[in-house]
Chains A and B, each alone.
Chain A
Amino acid sequence: MDTTGSTGAYGADALGWFGGAGAFGGRFMPEALIAALDELDIAWREAMADPAFTGEFERLLTDYAGVPSMLYDATRLSEHAGARILLKREDLNHTGAHKIRNVLGQALLTKRMGKTRVIAETGAGQHGVASATAAAYLGLDCTVYMGEVDTERQALNVARMQLLGAEVIPVKSGSRTLKDAINEALRDWVASVDETAYLFGTAAGPHPFPSLVLSFVRGIGDEARRQCLDQYGALPDAVAACVGGGSNAIGLFAGFVDDPEVAIYGFEAGGDGVETGRHAATIFAGSIGVLHGARTYVLQDEDGQTIESHSISAGLDYPGVGPQHSALSAAGRATYLPVTDAEAMDAMALLARTEGIIPAVESAHAVAGALRLARERPGQTILVNLSGRGDKDMGTALEYFGLGQAGTRGQGETK
């Protein structure tokens, strides 16, 4: 396994800058947290250089999380799309998403650092559930901050976290969504940093989080590249992932960023459509600013106040994005495009009916994007990160498609 956490020419420098000093990333944080971030940075680098740590991490991924996830040739979807679509089945991991990789890495690191408590923020609840799972498994106390709005739309995940022994704190400040949950977790951390580790849920935030999270999720891309070569004898023509904060995407992209012949696409949440202003297409439609400790693309007004994002997918509903994605976009190495709520929900239904796989509504954005790419790239191979499963989104699907009444087939039919 690659233990450096870097992505070659696209990795961060020692201060956490991507794309050159001052460009993207960095560490815009209260001084009170700098010592903790430095401590984390040093502990992480030492751990990644220690075969005992990396071996234990790999063992947990294999024995506990079900990694490596399979690379699946979605032939019926491909027939429909007009291009060959391969799915990296992160939805089959324990807890149902790629997030388990990140939390197992960070929770192991927490134990190694001698801390006894973890805090986490969560949007859709997937990172919260994954954090609560890792904390339960490794015997750590766990507190999860979740926007009050999200606790309402993802009540089932609140229950999961509670069953796993975590305390879930509804955040009532600001827009009461993911960004405010991050603010509240940071406030907790300022006051509790001696015994507490912050399990950051995405490849965003202050240095070293973007690089640290990447080091734990890059297995997605490294495995997919190897599987692609082993199973099909060639690299894909394009890879695609959904991008909110961007951890599943950066994990996938890391495996292919040094293969110039592979096109890289990130699909952001277009919500009601970028033109409506109700979206979360941060790179596509945002501007450069500083949010949650990093310089990156941000949805903000003229005064630099964060604008509330909108998406049917709680996991993509974030007005910032990991700084490495901003750098990849600025460098022209990856392309970021919006996918609307409607396109994503259609893709969710299509995948369910062609392959018998119900994706998370987040991952459905990547599937929808791949369907669009397929029209531009007929007959080519497109590898999609199916980052999570859709169980948690049945409430959304029920409402969107008018499902749930026996005796009908709902409105999600594709044929």
Chain B
Amino acid sequence: MTSSSAAFARARSEDRAALVGYLPAGFPDVDGSIAALKAMVEAGCDVIEIGLPYSDPVMDGPTIQAAAQQALDAGVRTTDVLRVVEAVAATGTPTLVMTYWNPVESYGRVSGRSHQRSGAERFAQDLANAGGAGLITPDLTPDFAPEWIAAADERDLDKVFLVAPSSTDERIAMTTAAARGFVYATGVMGVTGTTQATAAGVAPLIARTKALSPAGADLPVGVGVGVSSGAQAADLAVKNGIGADGVIVGSAFVRTLLDHPDDRAAGLRALAALTEELAGGVRA
């Protein structure tokens, strides 16, 4: 397992931002998602985020919803997601799972009524066994995450929580104190894949997050939600110490695959091309 902080540190040493790429597991199918994510690694993603398809994804716009629904309709299971993690993490690239909370809380539940809450514990162990770096939790904030924080701390897993333009200073301080790996700053107030983030728009949040992070933690800030092009990546990426330490792209990758439903090879080529464009952007 490699913490995502290693990838951020390497990017920083190269005086650029890290590129974080997202795809849901099981889209277009399990093996197809492994091939796609490996193509993104080869073409220049520094960190991989694997989406765990969920029936009620409130932070996702239509593009990621459609991909996740396709995966669920095809019967993808949480164990399949972990198989994708294992295959991608084997490349040596830090690999995180982005998931809504209930599938983690429910992981390995014995059927029937159960009051035990060791789902987080079981998921953390199997994620670590698969070589996964940690979790990004879009609907779990640190104040409601004691089980996950304990399970992650025991295994040195990354705990990537989100901060938003609407977050108070107090909550940013609380969130950065609980984070490991990096902090995910949502570039716009909205769901994935709908509006475009700008450097000017997100700068205040990045500045507040840096200022409110625990002294000496040197926690990287990745910007996601509303990032889709190389030009945007270039606009957002850190330059002379100002800007995002990481640029997180999801819907644009998903759309690329959705645009090539019948030709996998063409889809992978387009995915690699988009990755290269974005990788160029974070280095601009």
Residues of A at the B interface (CB closer than 8 Å) are: 15, 22, 26-36, 38, 173-174, 179-180, 183, 186-187, 190-191, 193, 287-293, 295, 298, 300, 302-306
Given known contacts A34-B167, A190-B189, A303 and B113 CB-to-CB distance under 8 angstroms: no
What is the interface residue range for chain B against chain A?
35 or more
Whether the pair B186, A303 counts as a contact (CB closer than 8 A) is no
Whether the pair B107, A32 counts as a contact (CB closer than 8 A) is no
Contact with A along B119-162 (1 / 0, CB 8 A): 10000000000000000001111011010000000000000011
With the chains together, A35 CA to B172 CA distance in Å? 11
Whether the pair A34, B77 counts as a contact (CB closer than 8 A) is no
Shortest distance from the beta carbon of B60 to any chain A beta carbon, whole Å:
8
Say what secondary structure dominates the interface of chain B.
loop
Whether the pair A190, B59 counts as a contact (CB closer than 8 A) is yes
Indicate whether B213 reaches chain A with its CB closer than 8 angstroms. no
Whether the pair B114, A287 counts as a contact (CB closer than 8 A) is yes
Whether the pair B195, A35 counts as a contact (CB closer than 8 A) is no
Which one, B3-11, B39-47, B61-69, B232-240, is touching chain A? B61-69
| B-side contacts of A292, CB under 8 Å | 56, 58
Indicate whether B163 reaches chain A with its CB closer than 8 angstroms. yes
Looking at A22, A183, A295, which has the most chain B CB atoms within 10 Å of its CB? A183
Whether the pair B69, A173 counts as a contact (CB closer than 8 A) is yes
| B-side contacts of A179, CB under 8 Å | 56
Indicate whether B171 reaches chain A with its CB closer than 8 angstroms. yes
Given contacts A287-B113, A304-B104, A305-B54, list 9 more A-B pairs with CB under 8 A.
A22-B117, A28-B139, A31-B171, A35-B167, A174-B55, A287-B106, A290-B105, A293-B139, A304-B78
Indicate whether B111 reaches chain A with its CB closer than 8 angstroms. yes
Total contacts A-B at CB 8 Å: 131
| B-side contacts of A193, CB under 8 Å | 166, 189
Whether the pair B191, A34 counts as a contact (CB closer than 8 A) is no
Q: Would you list which residues of chain B between 185 and 203 have a CB under 8 Å from chain A?
A: 186, 188-191, 194-195
Indicate whether B283 reaches chain A with its CB closer than 8 angstroms. no
| A-side contacts of B113, CB under 8 Å | 287-288
CB within 8 A of A15: which of B54, B69, B119, B143? B143
Indicate whether B57 reaches chain A with its CB closer than 8 angstroms. yes
Residue of B nearest to A184 (CB): B58
Looking at B102, B103, B109, which has the most chain A CB atoms within 10 Å of its CB? B102
Given known contacts A190-B191, A289-B105, A306 and B55 CB-to-CB distance under 8 angstroms: yes
Residue of B nearest to A298 (CB): B102
Residue of B nearest to A308 (CB): B55
With the chains together, A104 CA to B146 CA distance in Å? 37
Question: Top 8 closest A-B pairs, CB basis?
Answer: A304-B106, A32-B164, A191-B190, A304-B103, A35-B166, A304-B102, A306-B55, A290-B102
Looking at B55, B114, B167, B171, which has the most chain A CB atoms within 10 Å of its CB? B55
| B-side contacts of A34, CB under 8 Å | 141, 164, 166-167, 171
Whether the pair A305, B55 counts as a contact (CB closer than 8 A) is yes
Q: Would you list which residues of chain B between 18 and 74 have a CB under 8 Å from chain A?
A: 54-62, 65, 69, 72
Whether the pair A187, B191 counts as a contact (CB closer than 8 A) is yes
Given known contacts A31-B186, A35-B168, A304 and B107 CB-to-CB distance under 8 angstroms: yes
CB within 8 A of A30: which of B78, B107, B164, B188? B164
Whether the pair B191, A290 counts as a contact (CB closer than 8 A) is no
| A-side contacts of B189, CB under 8 Å | 32, 190-191, 193
Whether the pair B55, A191 counts as a contact (CB closer than 8 A) is no
With the chains together, A187 CA to B191 CA distance in Å? 6
Looking at A22, A288, A291, which has the most chain B CB atoms within 10 Å of its CB? A288
Residue of A nearest to B116 (CB): A288
Residue of B nearest to A191 (CB): B190
